[in-house]
Amino acid sequence: MLPDWPRALGQPMVSGLLKAEPKDFVVEEVFDVEFSNDGEFDWLWIEKCGDNTEYLAKQLARLAGVQPRAVTYSGQKDRHAVTRQWFCVHLPGKHKPEWRVPENETWQILRQGRHRQKLRLGSHRYNRFILRLSELKGDIDDLESRLAFVRQGFPNYFGEQRFGHGGGNIAACRQWFAGELSPGRFDRGMYLSAARSLIFNTVLAQRVDDASWNQGLDGDVFSLRDSASVFLADIDADIIARLAVADIHPTGPLYGKAAKLGVDGVVADLEERIYAEFSDLCAGLMKNNLAMERRALRVVPKDLQWKYAEDDSLSLAFSLPRGCFATALVRELINY
């Protein structure tokens, strides 16, 4: 089982349901595409419900008569949700397929176009979410104060879906690292991501516990808001001011081989203690030659809006940078 990582404001005083049905959780990629109307790549804007991204990629490969590796996408999307995202099919020297969706499938093609460029992993910058939290019970004033709080930023935890049901991806990862499992390429990537995410979340949980997840500590590496750019800096008046307006964020580790830009001081001590706690995962990650990366400890939602309904539900709309989880925002608001 996964830990119940600490929340910035402690346990919420409202309970409710998230995803009572798939249409309560809608996510789409924010992605501006200009088609060239020629080239070897067919881009498809697809809405799906009940299927994971990898399954749909294989379906498209089958319909186009190509190998699965010829189908690419920018990011994985939740199975139990309504999702809209781009897929790309490499069709060198082939005419565009008719793309007839088989009967009884739960996906549809909303838009398509020809492009000279391949869609690569991580190409989109943001995801837009529209959520409905239902059957709310408890102190609505507490919920309202939490909504105002998360508008300024919330702990950037990896969501529970990263770890599989009951944390199963972590258990499988440990079996793989111990030589007891031989996963395929896709599963290997999933297990490596889960291991790095567990280490990151544990570091972030410690920073939430000591109220430094949105503050600078001696030795911190900082990231620019909504950017992968990172830098090491001493804590001075300028850094404190930039942290206060969320222009920059402290970061935590995506574990791997040491980067040139590393943490120092009390931050290094904290992170090393957690690496020791997960020594088996760290050893396996090193063996797989992953490079150390940094991820912001805080994320600020864009254009957060909310509206209550008479049926004791709350609708939310907001955007998050790619790789950030809407469930990390929701867990700060309610128990679900």
Which CATH number fits the domain that encloses residue 104? 3.30.2350.20
Which residue of the set 78, 142, 209, 303 is catalytic? 78
In a domain, 61, yes or no: yes
Distance of CA 314 to the CA centre of its chain: 22
Residues 208 and 292 in one domain: yes
In a domain, 251, yes or no: yes
Residue 156 to residue 323: CA distance in whole angstroms: 10
Region 104-123: mean pLDDT is 93
**What is the length of the chain?**
336
Who has greater pLDDT, 172 or 35? 172
Region 38-66: mean pLDDT is 94
Region 189-196: mean pLDDT is 98
Q: Pick from 59, 55, 49, 56: which is nearest to 27 by CA?
A: 49
Q: What is the pLDDT of residue 128?
A: 98
Region 4-27: mean pLDDT is 97
In a domain, 314, yes or no: no
Residues 104 and 161 in one domain: no
Residue spans of beta strands (DSSP E) within 91-210: 107-115, 126-138, 154-155
Q: What is the pLDDT of residue 102?
A: 87
Q: What is the domain-level CATH number for residue 171?
A: 3.30.2340.10
Domain count, the chain: 2
Region 159-185: mean pLDDT is 96
In this model, does residue 318 exceed pLDDT 90? Answer: yes
The answer to whether the CB of 124 falls within 8 A of the CB of 29 is yes
In a domain, 143, yes or no: no
In this model, does residue 131 exceed pLDDT 70? Answer: yes
Place of tokens 């050893």: 283
Backbone angles phi, psi at 206, to 5 degrees: -65, -40
Q: What is the pLDDT of residues 17-38, one digit of tens each?
A: 999 999 999 999 998 888 888 8
Q: Binning pLDDT at 50, 70 and 90, where does residue 97 land?
A: confident
In a domain, 125, yes or no: no
Residue 323 to residue 15: CA distance in whole angstroms: 26
In this model, does residue 2 exceed pLDDT 70? Answer: yes
Task: Write out the H or E segment, with its range, that includes residue 46.
Answer: strand 41-49
Residues 236 and 164 in one domain: yes
pLDDT-above-90 percentage for the chain = 89
- Kind of pairing, strands 126-138 and 154-155? unpaired
Region 183-188: mean pLDDT is 94
SS (H, E, C) 214-281: CCCCCCCEEEECCCCCEEECCCCHHHHHHHHCCCEEEEEEECCECCCCCCCHHHHHHHHHHHHHCHHH
Residue 282 to residue 199: CA distance in whole angstroms: 9
Residue 58 to residue 103: CA distance in whole angstroms: 16
Residues 181 and 87 in one domain: no
Quick check: is 78 catalytic?
A: yes
Sign of the dihedral defined by the CA atoms of residues 222, 224, 225, 227, in that order: negative
Q: What is the pLDDT of residue 227?
A: 85
Give the domain-ending residue among 90, 115, 140: 115
Region 204-214: mean pLDDT is 98
Residue 133 to residue 314: CA distance in whole angstroms: 5
Q: What is the pLDDT of residue 260?
A: 65
Q: What is the pLDDT of residues 215-265, one digit of tens each?
A: 999 999 999 998 889 999 999 999 999 999 999 999 999 999 987 678 899
In this model, does residue 94 exceed pLDDT 90? Answer: no
Q: Judging by beta carbons within 10 Å of its beta carbon (0-12, 13-18, 19+), is residue 25 exposed, middle or buried?
A: buried
Residues 86 and 196 in one domain: no
pTM of the model: 0.93
Average pLDDT, the chain: 95
When mean pLDDT is compared across 95-104, 276-285, 305-314, the lowest value belongs to 95-104
Bridge partner list, 215: none
Backbone angles phi, psi at 30, to 5 degrees: -95, 110
Residue 221 to residue 267: CA distance in whole angstroms: 9
Task: Write out the H or E segment, with its range, that includes residue 149.
Answer: helix 140-150
In a domain, 258, yes or no: yes
In a domain, 45, yes or no: yes
Residues 108 and 202 in one domain: no
Q: Pick from 94, 50, 98, 52: which is nearest to 70 by CA?
A: 94
Q: What is the pLDDT of residue 111?
A: 94
Give the domain-ending residue among 67, 95, 115: 115
The answer to whether the CB of 319 falls within 8 A of the CB of 302 is yes
In a domain, 177, yes or no: yes
Give the domain-ending residue among 92, 115, 138: 115
Q: What is the pLDDT of residues 54-70, one digit of tens each?
A: 999 999 999 999 999 99
Range of the domain at 80: 32-115
